[in-house]
Amino acid sequence: MDDMEAFDSEFQNQEIWTETLVFPNPSQLDDAGMDYYFPDYDGRWSAQTKRAMKALETDGLELNSNWALERQHWTCPGCHRSKFDVFRKSSNGILLAKLELHHDHMSEEATQRPAKVAGPEWRAALGDGGSRVMDTIRALVVRFDTALVCSECNTADGKAKKLVGADPRFTFVATEIRQFVKATPHRDHEIDIEVARAVWKAEKPAFEHRLALLTSLVDDLFARRLQNRPEGALPYGRSMVDRVGTGETLRKSFWKSARFSPNNGLLNTIKTDFLSRSVSNDTAKRKVPKAPPRAPTEEEYNAFVPLFGIQKWNEVDDDWACPCCCRGKRASMRMSSKKKWTAAIRNVAQYDILLNQDEIGLRERLFPDFANDLHLVERRWVAVCSDCADITTRLRHSRQDLPDVFLTMEEMKSVLSSVSGHAPHDIDFELGASLAFANLAYRQATDAMSEFINLRDEFKRYMKMGADGPEERRLAFKELDFRLKVYHSIDDPQERKEIMAMIKDGNYGGGRKRSKWR
């Protein structure tokens, strides 16, 4: 049923029905196109944002992803201001358009509690079920779900807690923030300290009870009095209610139609492309004076435990050097804004250029709809320091017009304008942007590579099944022969056999002349 042309019109209305869908490509749209296809959303392209920039007399804009992904007629659940009223001009002349995810800080306490009790490897000690129980415990002790609020309400929560001496693990809910802030269009909030203190005093007993409950439940967890067994669990968390529903039907139908074309990749990246066209961070382009870096003492270095990636940090020796910036483990440690040492060793994806012309020919024969102007070897991982791993992230934040960011290791090195120990890297964002634009072909090339790898692995799985006996071999051959003929338009039976042999042996020459494949 994948090939609609195979059905006579008299059967189409009886056995299947079709609908034509149009998907916008944000990376190719101008401002008017973005307004047309995304009328409910906001961005640097939207009429509402342009109107605010004109009204507040600024040409600089800092608009974050939460703002871009929320509808234009949203109102803050805290201060009740509209989006347009939330726009404000910063002291350095930048228009701020920022919404924040406001969460109960008890969630962080719940996340950290198991490690405080049983160490960083607590998950391994409890097995898979332990993490699921902790998710339930976390849901019990937090008093509100994550809320979307304006940045001023989110900031007012932190300010009020300090002013009234509240426990830092406590968090005001949006309706409580509304009680102690005075909200004015296009301005920061004023805080009524006495009202905030009264709210904290009223909520303190319940907060302390939730802390005690957290301690008790985590103790029960490690005493094996609480369990969540995985036997019989639905795969991938899919409920029975969702089966054969709208989402599953649309997803499968689209995948069947687009799985061997670049359109599948375009749908996967539509959100990334939308944000690239919508988000703005002009503040990042302004130089901020840096404080002199401080090196960790011997005791601080020996006692340091990264917040994430503990195993990878411990796997490498003390004389390890980052292959990008050449700093060692000690030199990569730096003081965070919260006055805590931070560092990590993280993996970045790298792709080598495929040079095997026989494999290139086979890929282009099987997947002709891709651009096929660049062919890549399977992804490999390179361990770098966290500052080098953040190069592409910082570049994406600096240049929101980039639909995608990929840099080779040599290119990552080239954009480092200066490197020093115990400090973030200085990055040449303009050079990085030009290199990233030149590498946009990598996006479709990685999609094409993934399609080929998936096909290769699926064929090998069938071939392994076929080794169990003559009947299994016949069924496997029949299935693979059908796929090559119907999905990849390989009409010649002999050619289909040769392709199967090539994939089985990993020899993509197959005895044919290269021109036959290309």
pLDDT value of residue 508: 79
Structural domain for 434, as ranges: 309-518
**Is residue 54 assigned to a domain?**
no
What torsion do the CA atoms of 409, 411, 417, 421 make, to the nearest 10 degrees? 0
pLDDT value of residue 256: 81
Average pLDDT, 10 consecutive residues per value, the chain (518 residues): 43 72 90 94 95 94 94 96 96 94 94 86 78 90 95 96 95 97 96 97 96 94 82 70 83 82 82 88 67 89 87 90 95 89 94 92 92 91 95 83 85 93 92 90 90 92 88 91 91 92 80 38
Residues 381 and 494 placed together within one structural domain of the fold: yes
**Is residue 297 assigned to a domain?**
no
What torsion do the CA atoms of 447, 449, 455, 457 make, to the nearest 10 degrees? -120
pLDDT value of residue 43: 94
pLDDT value of residue 514: 38
Answer left, alpha or beta for residue 18, where phi above 0 means left and psi between -120 and 50 means alpha.
beta
**Which residue's structure tokens are 């779900």?**
145
Nearest CA among 224, 227, 225, 220 for reference residue 128: 227
Residues 394 and 513 placed together within one structural domain of the fold: yes
Q: Give the type of residue at 377.
A: V
**Is residue 8 assigned to a domain?**
no
Residues 446 and 335 placed together within one structural domain of the fold: yes
- Which of 230, 246, 267 is the last residue before a domain boundary? 230
**Is residue 156 assigned to a domain?**
yes
- Which of 230, 247, 275 is the last residue before a domain boundary? 230
- Which of 204, 230, 256 is the last residue before a domain boundary? 230
Alpha carbon distance 437, 402 (integer Å): 7
Q: Determine contact, residues 363/356, Cβ cutoff 8 Å.
A: no
Q: How many domains are there within the chain?
A: 2
pLDDT value of residue 493: 92
Residues 203 and 316 placed together within one structural domain of the fold: no
From first CA to last CA, the distance across the chain in angstroms is: 29
**Is residue 349 assigned to a domain?**
yes
Query: Alpha carbon 302 to chain centroid distance?
Result: 32
pLDDT value of residue 327: 95
pLDDT value of residue 299: 93
Residues 226 and 332 placed together within one structural domain of the fold: no
Q: Determine contact, residues 332/385, Cβ cutoff 8 Å.
A: yes
Alpha carbon distance 229, 217 (integer Å): 17
pLDDT value of residue 510: 55
**Runs of H (alpha helix) within 29-102:** 31-37, 47-55, 65-69, 83-86
Residues 317 and 226 placed together within one structural domain of the fold: no
Alpha carbon distance 381, 377 (integer Å): 12
Alpha carbon distance 447, 444 (integer Å): 5
